[in-house]
Structure 1
Amino acid sequence: MWLKRVCDQADQDGRIAKSVFTDEEAIVRFGVGKNMVSSMKHWALATGMILDENSSKYYRLSSLAKKIFAVDGLDPFSENIATTWLLHWQLAGTSKLETSFKTRSTTWVLLFNTFITADFSNKDLLNNIYKFIANNARKKISENSLQRDIDVCLRSYISLPKNNNSDDISEPVLAELALIRPTTSGKLGFQRGTRSTLPDGIFDYCLIIFWQSLSKDLNALSLYDICHAKGSLGLVFKMDEDAIAERLIGIGERTGDLLIWASTSGIHQVMKKQGLGGDEFTKLAVSRLESSYNE
């Protein structure tokens, strides 16, 4: 619901004045405290629902936000778990890992795309991410700031002890996806599975977005890349090759054979229909997204 509150601030041209988050009416406008208003803006930017295009006065509502959170949108009040999976993808899914420190969801990207140990502690995650950022970011980030970001990230998937820096707005959003769990060693670990609550439409949408991020000119995408490449569905959704392949077997039927699953001579891949590309490929992604809310 909090994302809709942000999206509702857009004018008819899809612009959101930056002042709505900072002026004297912000607390009344959003119905929350000052810190939570700032947090709502952060999450809307991090999930790509609003875009900062270097304007001094405005943010812009993304096409995805309009599709989901408009008055007549697919799920304006975030009642469908399809939206929860989509928000997780928006936070953690990217193939451009080398520039991920520029995003507002660096911790999500690095946690799901680079952390492959069976279990991990908060400190393990801190060290891993701090090292990556130290080697890639141009400006130094304090350990305390990074620790707060890690706490917020982990709390969005699993209940952890609260502290004064807790960002409660994130807590209930992603826990139902069951992606992270406590382990018997007292640490945390990824919980892999077939993702029965992940709609085929969201799976297909994310597959196409991932495909486009690699190259719009690729006519085929290997099962290996779909499972193991940075920003892939296998890493972001924590699905193994069997679970991914099971989904892909039916992709031809779901897309009217615009995409087909081919498994011959030990080569497993998804192939595009000849000539499918550009705007038509994007339209297919949107169509599959929309179908998720009818499954």
Structure 2
Amino acid sequence: MKFDTILPGEPMFDMAIADGQASYRFSGHETFACRYAWLPKAYRAIAADPGIFFDEDAAMVELGIGKNMVRSLRFWVDAMGIARPAADRTHTITELGHTIFGAEGCDPFLEDTRTLWLLHWNLSSAVTPGLFAWHYLLGAWPYAEFSRSEALAAFLRQSQRLGYSHSSVTLSQHLDVFLHTYQSARSSRVGIEDSLDGPLVELRLLQQTGERRGEAGRREPVYAFRKEPKPEISNDLFAYAVLDYWDRVASGEKTLLVRNILSAPGAPGQSFKLPEDDVRARLEALSRDRRYGLTYRPSAIQGLLTRDTNQKASARAIYKNEAILNG
């Protein structure tokens, strides 16, 4: 069934995230996607003054960006897991932030694709609360392609279904930030700061596949996620994502259905847009490596993954000991 044959509010479409997270973030990015230079700047600024982002005038001078961009950067620092705000109006840099950007950081200039996939994982799998566009388009969109007008119409329906009262302007801006995070926004008509693409554009995760005519009669781009094996996502990084997801959604369980890892919103299969065969092959590889404490039991119907809690394998242990960004 094609998108344009589904009526607004039809259950097949709106049930996509009915059982999803309790709350979502639709704003806070001030309509700016994260820029390449922002995260290193933010790390250095917070390391020097943990309260810098709670003094916007000082942050504007220190970072060399406008007030709205300061607020946007504060949003992205938190959303990508580089630093966390504290009750005393300061930021605490996370282990991830130090590992990437510290004095002996493994990738202070964001040159390693694994780092970018890890930042993408933090955005697409966050649950406290999640970013709506990421959760919905990456985890619950039921079609192979989408146009901006189709996605925006769905955003409006889902926002209302979840009890929000966001305006079409807010939802439109949120959608555009998602698109600009993964699609180049370079233009000769904008200023130098605005012309710089964000780091996640390099992942080539979201691609324009063509054009079609929208409801207003105008032709608009059609997008699709690059769903294919991605060897740049190492098995260590994939294992980290699997165990991180497990800790978030079923920390007390010893078993997890493979279909959850494949297709649940915020799961590795959906967040990384990996085909089923690739996910299963990766799980087989992880099962053969005793470091991870995982046993994969394949099945034509669904399959099962078992976690050996006695081995104390965890996302944090893999991150610290297996050097997923240094291997």
The answer to whether the 8 A contact 1:155-1:170 is kept is no
Moved over 4 A (4+): 18-21, 160-165, 264-267
Q: Deviations over 1:122-163 (max 9, x none)?
A: 11111222222223255x322112211211210111235869
Matched, 1:291 2:305: no
Tell me which of 293, 307, 310 is aligned to 1:258.
Answer: 293
- The aligned residue for residue 82 of structure 1 is 114
- The aligned residue for residue 183 of structure 2 is 158
Identity of aligned residues (%): 23
| SS of residue in 2 equivalent to 1:275 | helix
- The aligned residue for residue 9 of structure 1 is 45
Q: Distance in 2 between matches of 1:22 and 1:231?
A: 33
Unpaired segments ≥5 residues, structure 1: none
- The aligned residue for residue 244 of structure 1 is 279
| SS of residue in 1 equivalent to 2:265 | coil
Q: Distance in 2 between matches of 1:159 and 1:60?
A: 31
Q: Deviations over 1:184-203 (max 9, x none)?
A: 34411122100122122221
| SS of residue in 2 equivalent to 1:174 | helix
| SS of residue in 1 equivalent to 2:184 | coil
Matched, 1:172 2:198: yes
The answer to whether the 8 A contact 1:208-1:285 is kept is no
- The aligned residue for residue 135 of structure 1 is 161
- The aligned residue for residue 68 of structure 1 is 100
Matched, 1:57 2:89: yes
Distance change in 2, residues 1:251/1:19 (3 Å):
closer
Larger mean CA deviation between 282-291 and 234-243 belongs to 282-291
The count of aligned residue pairs is 281
TM-score under structure 1 length normalisation:
0.82
Q: Distance in 2 between matches of 1:149 and 1:218?
A: 35
| SS of residue in 1 equivalent to 2:296 | strand
- The aligned residue for residue 224 of structure 2 is 189
Please, what is the CA RMSD of the aligned residues? 3.0
Q: Distance in 1 between matches of 2:143 and 2:119?
A: 24
- The aligned residue for residue 18 of structure 2 is none
Distance change in 2, residues 1:92/1:83 (3 Å):
same
Q: Distance in 1 between matches of 2:159 and 2:222?
A: 23
Q: Distance in 2 between matches of 1:265 and 1:135?
A: 35
Distance change in 2, residues 1:256/1:129 (3 Å):
same
Matched, 1:115 2:141: yes
TM-score under structure 2 length normalisation:
0.75
- The aligned residue for residue 33 of structure 1 is 66
- The aligned residue for residue 126 of structure 1 is 152
Q: Deviations over 1:202-228 (max 9, x none)?
A: 211111111111211221222211101
Matched, 1:232 2:267: yes
Distance change in 2, residues 1:175/1:110 (3 Å):
same
Distance change in 2, residues 1:172/1:257 (3 Å):
closer
Distance change in 2, residues 1:21/1:47 (3 Å):
farther
1:18 Cα deviation after fit: 4.9
- The aligned residue for residue 146 of structure 1 is 171
